[in-house]
């Protein structure tokens, strides 16, 4: 019988002085604590569309979180195998 697990990612977005910052926080049952961060800034020559900054910052935070999770997996593999992990992205 398989056991279903639930992982959730919470994204928090804030803006300050034409910069948008996002944090993507991974929540797991085993209390994994990973936080990816992403930023976006408004080009002064562009029209201010806050949704675009939110999308860019959130996507960058999720990308950062993905890399952190891949690094965590490599560390876990190395701990089990006692050999360097060769993970490809």
Comparison of pLDDT for 5 and 87, the residue scoring more: 5
Residue 21 near residue 11 (C-beta atoms within 8 A): no
Query: What is the residue extent of each domain of the chain?
Result: 8-81
Residues in the chain, total? 89
**Candidate from 5-9, 17-21, 26-30, 83-87 with smallest mean pLDDT:** 83-87
The pLDDT tens digits of the residues spanning 26-75 come to 999 887 889 999 999 988 888 888 899 999 999 999 999 999 999 999 98
As a whole number of angstroms, the distance between CA 82 and CA 76 comes to: 10
Residue 1 scores a pLDDT above 80: no
As a whole number of angstroms, the distance between CA 11 and CA 9 comes to: 6
* CATH superfamily of the domain spanning 8-81: Rv1738 (3.30.160.240)
Residue 37 near residue 61 (C-beta atoms within 8 A): yes
As a whole number of angstroms, the distance between CA 72 and CA 78 comes to: 10
Question: Encoding tokens for residue 87?
Answer: 């993970």
Mean pLDDT value across residues 79-83: 88
């Amino acid at each position: 019988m398989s056991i279903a697990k639930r992982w959730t990612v919470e994204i928090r977005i804030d803006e300050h002085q034409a910069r948008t910052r996002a944090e993507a926080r991974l929540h797991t049952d085993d209390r994994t604590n990973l936080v990816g961060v992403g930023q976006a800034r408004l080009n002064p020559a562009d029209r201010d569309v806050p949704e675009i900054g939110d999308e860019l910052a959130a996507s960058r935070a999720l990308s950062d979180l993905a890399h952190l999770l891949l690094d965590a997996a490599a560390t876990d593999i190395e701990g089990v195998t006692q050999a360097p992990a060769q993970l490809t992205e």
